[in-house]
Structure 1
Amino acid sequence: MKPFVDVQNLTIRYETRQENALSSVSFQLKFGESLLLLGPSGSGKSTLTSCLNGLFPRELDGEMHGKIFVDGRENRDLLPGERSRKVGVVFQDPETQFCMLTVEDEVAFGLENLGIPNEEMELKIDAALTLVNMLSFKKASISSLSGGQKQKLALACILALEPALLIIDEPTANLDAIATKEFIETIKALRDKVTFSLIVIEHKLDGWTDITERCVLLNRQGEIFYDGSIRQALREQRQQLTREGIWIPRVTQFVLEQHPLLSNPPLTIEEFRENPLPIKEERIADHVSISSKPLVQARHLSWSAGNKEIVKDVSLTFHKGEFVAIVGANGSGKTSLSRILAGIRQPTNGSLLVKGKSLSKWKEAQLRQEIGYVFQNPEHQFITNTVYDEVAFGLKWKDTETIEIEKIVNDILESFGLLELKNEHPFSLSQGQKRRLSVATMIVDDQSFLLLDEPTFGQDSHTNTELMGLLKQRHQTGATIVMITHDMDIVADYATRVIVIGDGAVLADCSPHELWKMPIDKLMYWKLELPISVQLKKIYEGAASYVSTTT
């Protein structure tokens, strides 16, 4: 059967880089086939996407060698309108794809550009929204949608164009646990209704292994080192997967940590349930002494946007030495609350005290020496023209000696895998690299209260461990860490306290261990799931209990 996608010896080098982004990449994809494209942060996954959808070399500066054929035609010979009918891409951040105000108009935009007649367009809009279960939101404002709904809308916009190849680039990176499962289920359902080729770019594989077992693995040099089944890769490439920092399914990872000699580990919860194995107690975060003296106090905070109340009467106290995780569904008000706590956004009502002093009595320069903040979108905080200067900015502002600045900056860039990119513009980095840079710019200072909004999204296994290790070091030296996250395994491993936010209010404020004991239906209502370690332990104990009561 003739391949629908045929990539032949593709090598890419950007104008500003000495190293190749991709090197001699070759693979084929048949029509209707699917694959997972995996690799460490900065390995060229998104670059390959840009080549397949024609952005490179048309819109990006650099050199391209090799050929890409789509449906038998060389990709560079296709006109943009032709290519959009062949290749559709759903990017990591759906909002970067939106240019209209309402759901209906957004889906219509691409169709209008293709010159689709109005009477036919209406049918295509309804069909696309129906495929992703969003027809009831047809007249809704995009700004009113949750993160998961926006991701589904971005998918509907592409489906309306009926591409033969769909590429989804880390689509669940910013979604809560339930929205992630719903999106993956949407893709599964689509595969049953419509025939198309599928390339999934992901760091976290949970749920995707049910859609395809084929994976293409890239190393840090942008070279393919494996093309085959995931199960076989786990048997034959386990050491290189670890060296490259490529995530494996969390179930697989946790089981192998406790049973390293297992030759055929489970890929999913369902597979573990079929053959449960003994699981030790879940990991508990290291104990650090917590001061009884409040560091930051929030009193009856509320904030409204237009006529909608986003944050509702929140009162919280944070002490020195805490590692706090803020969790909750997409659109629950976590980011809005964090910006108020950081002094970036003024509350509509209520007050904020930092070290016992009202926020209004702090000078901005002094406040920034106490509170550090990492935005959900890293690009929102970049202000210089090089990676090095971005990290050095705060140190220069404090009149640190040049030699000391150089040592501090180079050390932290090396820790974050960014040293070789120190002369690059921050906006030229991959999404994962941008995220690490945004965290590095904050960690380099000595603030006592650090707020981070989804700091680990888009990270490979190595950089995730390094980033969390640096935060742990700051925590152990007395800093208070407050982190918004959807990753409950990180909550289990690092947090001393977890705050659940729902509909702008505090639903729970307790230790992680106490949260795991809450009724599962309550956690599901809050759009939360248990950490893998807790899930597996409960499954094994349930199976062992069943065996013991029936023998």
Structure 2
Amino acid sequence: MSQGMSVTNLRLKYPGDDAPLIFQGVSLSIEPGEKVLLLGPSGCGKSTLLQVLSGIVPDMIELPLKADDIRRPSRWGYVFQDPDTQFCMPYIDEEIAFVLENQEVPRAEMPARIRYYLDLVGLQLPDPHTLISTLSQGMKQRLAIASVLALEPEVLFLDEPTALLDEEGTKQVWDTIRRISGDKTLVIVEHKISGMLDLLDRLILLTPEGRVLADGPPLTMFEAHKAQMREYGIWYPGVWTDYAEERELKGLAGEEKVGVNPRENGEKGRAGEQELLCEPIMTFRDFNGLRGGQIKTSVDNFSVYPGDWITVVGANGAGKSSLLLAIMQLIPTRGSCVIAGAKGNKVEQLAEQVGFVFQNPEFQFVTNSVEDELTYGLPEGQPKQGQWAAAERLLREYDLLALRERHPFQLSMGQKRRLSVATAMVREPQILLLDEPTFGLDARGTMRMLEQLERLRASGNVIVMVTHDHEIVQRWATRVWTVDGGRVAEAAPAGKLGADGAQPAEAAPAGSALLYTATGGEPLPCK
């Protein structure tokens, strides 16, 4: 039988005299076999609480902590957001064998045990001695779960295990967890809740300050505390519909309307549509991105125009991230990708016109404070004074003002993501390349970011965004690119993709730009 756990009057803070308390007297208990979701806005301490309950804090990560009592399980496993950070070995079978070896399992028993755990999570592979790097993100996360199951845990801590996955990968992971959870205790942190609510017994709702606001059955909680969830910017069923209605009401009241697809509402697709803009800002001609000498992404003859918001969709491993890396010349390329205004195709030359956001925000951080990240690389002096003012504005707009002195690695995942996007915007580039910029964000952070991007797009900037979120594709994009096996194709207009993101029979012609009149909202091809 799974083990229970509890914490009484927990107080915790990050190091530093000016660091605020994360928890101020939190108390909760979880009984054996319960399936519990910790739900709250970004930065409220959900992942930290998970680490306290498991013992990672303070046993492995030393943080100032006090509590009247903490009762932890002795046999537990922890699954992180990014499976690549969890692996110790290069090959699938070696990863599980590493765990078994530490469990003192005899070598002769290992092959059968490895097959058993892989079958348990639905990874039926012809040869388990396969490089982990060749797996999709969904397969990697199932492997991470298999390696944790090899510990024979009674408690599983799941820290946003589907954050980096597409819809199919997300479904696979939750199906796996349903299949293996049985009488195990599950303690889950997750923003993408729609695919796992039936799994839960309880929902513990945290305030932005890290206090426990309410605790109860999920459906009851969503009914009783929807107003607070909406106020805190927490994801809940129906949040997109409520957001659209709120924006519509503000639009009727005469406020700026953003976040509504111009195809559906007849709004301007670009700034200054009194005169249609037909000069491309980026052109592709037989452009390929390579890794290990192999073509990982391929664009034939496309043109991108001021005011395009292009969402890039496709399955995990299709080549979406490779496309952005190739445009930024961060991987070897062949063919032509010409960016207007760039003085060459070196990374440092492109950086004047192109802002880039990695899928993992930590890859971007090079300084010791949030404020320094935003101002790093900005030129001194009057000519670029506006960019320094922009840095201050972005601190406010991305809710980072109170964190300006905090080390970037001390931020929550949602805060790191907001910072990474802000750093790409501070130079006011013509083009923004964003790789899953909303993963790990709560609803408020997501909507705020999308509104900011829409303002940039409306002023003529180009957004190229990799995303698995079909709500974003349908509500915000002006163009959609699908990536399948590395090849990029123009898909149907935004809002007309299938539920799986697949391209329907009638697709927009490759390389066409879709422009809008000031009043009609009908797309016009700009040759």
TM-score (norm 2): 0.85
Match of 1:355 in 2: 340
Are residues 1:287 and 2:269 paired? yes
1:206-234 CA-to-partner distances (Å, cap 9, x unmatched) read: 11111114101111111111110222222
Distance 1:112 1:223 in 2: 41
Match of 2:472 among 484, 490, 504: 490
In the TM superposition, what is the alpha-carbon distance from 1:93 to its structure 2 partner?
0.5
Match of 1:90 in 2: 79
Match of 2:364 in 1: 381
Q: Percent identity?
A: 37
Tell me if structure 1 keeps the 8 A contact 2:497–2:504.
no
Distance 1:217 1:480 in 2: 38
Distance 2:494 2:163 in 1: 22
Match of 2:31 in 1: 30
Match of 2:146 in 1: 156
Question: Is the partner of 1:48 in helix, strand or coil?
Answer: helix
Distance 1:355 1:486 in 2: 29
Distance 2:495 2:350 in 1: 33
In the TM superposition, what is the alpha-carbon distance from 1:407 to its structure 2 partner?
4.3
Match of 2:520 in 1: none
Q: After TM superposition, list the pairs within 5 Å mapping 1:407-426 onto structure 2.
A: 407-426=389-408
Question: Is the partner of 1:106 in helix, strand or coil?
Answer: helix
Aligned AA (2:176):
T
Are residues 1:481 and 2:436 paired? no
Match of 2:351 in 1: 368
1:223-282 CA-to-partner distances (Å, cap 9, x unmatched) read: 111110222222221221112111102xx335656899xxxxxxxxxxxxxxxxxxxx97
Note the aligned Cα RMSD (angstroms). Answer: 2.7
1:337-390 CA-to-partner distances (Å, cap 9, x unmatched) read: 11111233331x211111287x7x456544211111111111111111110011
In the TM superposition, what is the alpha-carbon distance from 1:138 to its structure 2 partner?
1.7
Structure 1: 5+ residue stretches without partners = 72-82, 261-280, 526-551
Please identify, of 214-223 and 17-26, the stretch whose mean Cα deviation from structure 2 is larger: 17-26
Distance 2:3 2:25 in 1: 19
Distance 2:240 2:470 in 1: 14
Structure 2: 5+ residue stretches without partners = 247-262, 506-527
Match of 1:144 in 2: 134
Change (3 A) 1:283 1:230: farther
Are residues 1:126 and 2:111 paired? no
Q: After TM superposition, list the pairs within 5 Å mapping 1:503-514 onto structure 2.
A: 503-514=485-496
Distance 2:278 2:90 in 1: 48
Tell me if structure 2 keeps the 8 A contact 1:312–1:504.
yes
Q: After TM superposition, list the pairs within 5 Å mapping 1:209-228 onto structure 2.
A: 209-228=197-216
Match of 1:332 in 2: 318
Distance 2:428 2:387 in 1: 14
Match of 1:47 in 2: 48
Match of 1:174 in 2: 164
Change (3 A) 1:378 1:5: same
Aligned AA (2:32):
F
Question: Is the partner of 1:155 in helix, strand or coil?
Answer: helix
Match of 2:452 among 456, 467, 470: 470
In the TM superposition, what is the alpha-carbon distance from 1:284 to its structure 2 partner?
8.2
Tell me if structure 2 keeps the 8 A contact 1:373–1:451.
yes
Aligned AA (2:353):
E
The structure with the largest helix share of the pair is 1
Q: After TM superposition, list the pairs within 5 Å mapping 1:46-65 onto structure 2.
A: 46-65=47-66
Q: After TM superposition, list the pairs within 5 Å mapping 1:103-122 onto structure 2.
A: 103-122=92-111
In the TM superposition, what is the alpha-carbon distance from 1:2 to its structure 2 partner?
11
Aligned AA (1:152):
R
Distance 2:456 2:236 in 1: 28
Tell me if structure 2 keeps the 8 A contact 1:431–1:458.
yes
Match of 1:68 in 2: 70
Please identify, of 506-515 and 495-504, the stretch whose mean Cα deviation from structure 2 is larger: 506-515
Distance 1:223 1:430 in 2: 16
Please identify, of 176-185 and 154-163, the stretch whose mean Cα deviation from structure 2 is larger: 176-185
Tell me if structure 2 keeps the 8 A contact 1:394–1:445.
no
Match of 2:425 in 1: 443
In the TM superposition, what is the alpha-carbon distance from 1:165 to its structure 2 partner?
0.5
Change (3 A) 1:448 1:2: closer
Tell me if structure 2 keeps the 8 A contact 1:285–1:493.
no
Question: Is the partner of 1:294 in helix, strand or coil?
Answer: coil
Tell me if structure 2 keeps the 8 A contact 1:501–1:508.
no
Question: Is the partner of 1:376 in helix, strand or coil?
Answer: coil
Distance 2:153 2:265 in 1: 45
Match of 2:296 among 280, 303, 310: 310
Change (3 A) 1:404 1:507: closer
Aligned AA (1:340):
A
Match of 2:376 in 1: 393
Match of 1:187 in 2: 177
Tell me if structure 1 keeps the 8 A contact 2:3–2:155.
no
Distance 2:382 2:187 in 1: 48
Distance 1:102 1:384 in 2: 34
Match of 2:4 in 1: 4
Question: Is the partner of 1:42 in helix, strand or coil?
Answer: coil
In the TM superposition, what is the alpha-carbon distance from 1:400 to its structure 2 partner?
4.8
Match of 1:79 in 2: none
1:470-500 CA-to-partner distances (Å, cap 9, x unmatched) read: 1111111110111110001011111000000
Change (3 A) 1:313 1:229: same
Distance 2:231 2:25 in 1: 21
Aligned AA (2:316):
N
Distance 1:334 1:3 in 2: 42
Aligned AA (2:49):
L
Change (3 A) 1:305 1:369: closer
Tell me if structure 1 keeps the 8 A contact 2:93–2:114.
yes
Distance 2:350 2:26 in 1: 49
Match of 1:235 in 2: 223
Aligned AA (2:40):
G
Number of residues of Structure 1 aligned to a counterpart in Structure 2: 482
Question: Is the partner of 1:198 in helix, strand or coil?
Answer: strand
Change (3 A) 1:324 1:523: closer
1:103-126 CA-to-partner distances (Å, cap 9, x unmatched) read: 000111122223222234333322
Tell me if structure 1 keeps the 8 A contact 2:34–2:201.
no
Distance 2:2 2:232 in 1: 33
1:83-112 CA-to-partner distances (Å, cap 9, x unmatched) read: 4xx121100001000121110001111222
Match of 2:254 in 1: none
In the TM superposition, what is the alpha-carbon distance from 1:178 to its structure 2 partner?
1.2
